[in-house]
Amino acid sequence: MNARAKRLMVLNKGSSSLKFALFDLTGLRPLARGSLRDLSSEPRLAFEAEAGGAPFERIAGPLPPAAAAEHLLAALNARGLLQNVGVVAHRIVHGGSQHRAPAILDDQTLRALRALSPLAPLHQDASLDVAEAAMRRLPSAVHAGCFDTAFHAAQPRLARLYALPRHLLEDGLVAYGFHGLSYAHVARRLQALDPEHAGGRAIVAHLGSGASLCALSAGVSLATTMGFSTLDGVPMSTRCGALDPGVVLHLLQARGLAPDAVSRLLYEESGLLGLSGISGDMRALLASASCEAAEAVSFFVYCVVREIGALAAVLGGLDTLVFTGGVGEGSPEIRARVCGQMRWLEVEIDARRNQAGAPEIGTGRVRVLVEPADEELAMAEALRDANITAPDGG
């Protein structure tokens, strides 16, 4: 590899943010991190200290994905942070049945990934818009997609089936699962923290504006709560979670809603926002005196507890419970309420350690951990494992 191409950049487009991270390509040593936040309202460009410059900068918004990428890359270039970038990793939510590992992005691959946009309408097109903007800005770098679905590709066949006619299953109507990059990071952390017990039975609760849970056996995904799309499982900030398909038929047939209106309702107007009528932000709901807000939070906790029970049954027991994601890491109250209903699984926590957000909060037989999500590092590790490196020309 040419000495001029020693950096790997990660771009992670979330629901309302665009994160970046820079790593040394040979050893994955972190060099800089930051993000563009609140893209749909009042964007702020924030850098961690090692990136240099002002801690944050306000930008006129809103910023659509491509414009956000262009602004971020221009800011990085002005700070000299794009020098020697030879590889760029892009988080892409849905890889379909074709992508079980990171893939080089070219025109054909981008077209195929665009076709999956209806399965992840809040994320897929936005991530691809960011990727295309970065490809224009850094045309000599290798651009690769890292897929949230890939981590679950090795699940047992039964975990991926729907009871539909077989020809539909063969045409790709199966449960894919998501948040795989987050789960991959947690699996690696469990191995690093406690190699002796990393082969045990773990449930990871990725709780944020998007939320799902995953059952791990020896670090491998056995089952997860999201399925064919990012709608399934527990209720989320604005997404409904698991829903009787008959409700969708009713909305279409009896209520006369157009398909686009149903999609908007299920993805953008439901979940915590829909139940509370106030907000999809868990912090706002916990601070509210509204009965509707309290009910939305209680329903969220109920669904998380129910899914932990189901996943524990798949695993045949539980050794480790991990909370991650914005709510999982940041809300002691949600952790306490979930764990308070899991005593039958021998889950117990220390109230003071939980309130402080300590890395380990369990006091019972089951280890209970709080792990910061690091999808950016997981993506860098995925490219390293796939041996995707910079071109010889830098």
148 labelled catalytic: yes
Q: Do 330 and 324 touch, CB atoms closer than 8 A?
A: no
The neighbour count for residue 17, using CB atoms within 10 Å, is 18
Binding-site residues for ATP, in ranges, read: 19, 206-210, 281-283
- Per the annotation, binding residues for substrate are 91
Q: Tell me the sheet residues that pair with 9.
A: 22, 88
Torsion on CA atoms 120, 126, 130, 132, rounded to nearest 10: 80
DSSP string, 121-166: TTTHHHHHHHHHHHHHH-TTSEEEEEETTGGGTTS-HHHH--SS-H
Own/partner long-range contacts of 250-257 (Cβ < 8 Å, ≥24 apart): none
- Please give the structure tokens belonging to residue 265: 């309702």
Any idea what DSSP says for residue 322?
E
Q: Are 21 and 30 in contact (CB under 8 A)?
A: yes
Distances (CA, A) of 108 to 104, 111, 131, 171: 10, 5, 14, 20
- Residue among 54, 55, 59, 34 at smallest CA distance from 44: 59
Catalytic one of 24, 125, 148, 350: 148
Give the DSSP H/E element, type plus range, for residue 13: strand 7-13
> Is residue 338 classed as helix, strand or coil in its secondary structure?
helix
Catalytic residues: 148
